[in-house]
Structure 1
């Protein structure tokens, strides 16, 4: 799982570089040449969505999400372990619901195309499905790490 998520992290960084480049290009074209590309904003939206949805399982696996632990730090290690296990299961359940709803949505509107890039929704939102599947894997991996090793990385 670690190697797969490292590859996903690399892909997200690569997409971020592409996103930065096309946004910079669009800013230059609009400000200095009073023109721009129609497809640029749609591609930017697609890349930003893809980066977030692909990087979320990486952060989840590493346990690097922002958290509010005012109550958890006041309780024993056993309570914190149970709280961590429950929170991981809740996130995994969310990912599972997302996968089901994603598949239902794509069944009905997967062939609808985006306006300027002419991409079908099934491709446009594919990063969400990939991220959710990876999120389930990352969550299950974290669950068993917490259960058997106390959450050590």
Structure 2
């Protein structure tokens, strides 16, 4: 998983850098050359979609999503572990639902083309699918690691 996590973080960095470059290029063209790029807004919108759905599992790995630790800390340790398991299973359900439902959307949109970039819209939605599959992998890895960390084979 370490290599997959590094790859995801690299993709996020590239997407963010590309969004900044394209946005800067659009501003430059609009104000100095007086001609807008027809594809820049669409590129940034689709790159942002990919960025968000790949960043969700990265934040999950880092425990960076919002949670209420102070409430969970009031419960006994056994119940805390159970609550963490339930939360992880909900994250797993989200990843599975995201991947499966996005596959349906990709089948419907494979013949549609984006107006500015001329991409198949299934490529746009592919970021959601990749994010969902990556989320499933992250949750399964965490559950597997916790099972062996707590001494249960």
Q: Does 1:138 align with 2:138?
A: yes
Looking at structure 2, the residues matched to 63 and 83 of structure 1 have their Cα atoms a distance apart, in angstroms, of 15
Looking at structure 2, the residues matched to 22 and 128 of structure 1 have their Cα atoms a distance apart, in angstroms, of 22
Q: Residue in 2 aligned with 1:129? A: 129
Superposition deviation, residue 76 in structure 1: 2.0
Contact 1:114/1:121 (8 A) holds in 2: yes
SS in 1 for 2:54: helix
Q: Residue in 2 aligned with 1:112? A: 112
Looking at structure 2, the residues matched to 96 and 5 of structure 1 have their Cα atoms a distance apart, in angstroms, of 18
Listed as ranges, the gaps of 5+ residues in structure 1 are none
Highest relative contact order (Cα 8 Å, sep 6+), 1 or 2?
1
SS in 2 for 1:71: helix
Looking at structure 1, the residues matched to 119 and 130 of structure 2 have their Cα atoms a distance apart, in angstroms, of 17
Task: Deviation per CA, 1:99-119: give whole Å up to 9, x if none.
Answer: 111111122222211011010
Looking at structure 1, the residues matched to 31 and 83 of structure 2 have their Cα atoms a distance apart, in angstroms, of 51
Looking at structure 2, the residues matched to 90 and 103 of structure 1 have their Cα atoms a distance apart, in angstroms, of 20
SS in 2 for 1:74: coil
TM-score, structure 2 normalization: 0.90
TM-score, structure 1 normalization: 0.90
Superposition deviation, residue 3 in structure 1: 1.2
Contact 2:95/2:132 (8 A) holds in 1: yes
Q: Residue in 1 aligned with 2:60? A: 60
Q: Residue in 1 aligned with 2:88? A: 88
Looking at structure 2, the residues matched to 145 and 83 of structure 1 have their Cα atoms a distance apart, in angstroms, of 17
Contact 2:19/2:44 (8 A) holds in 1: yes
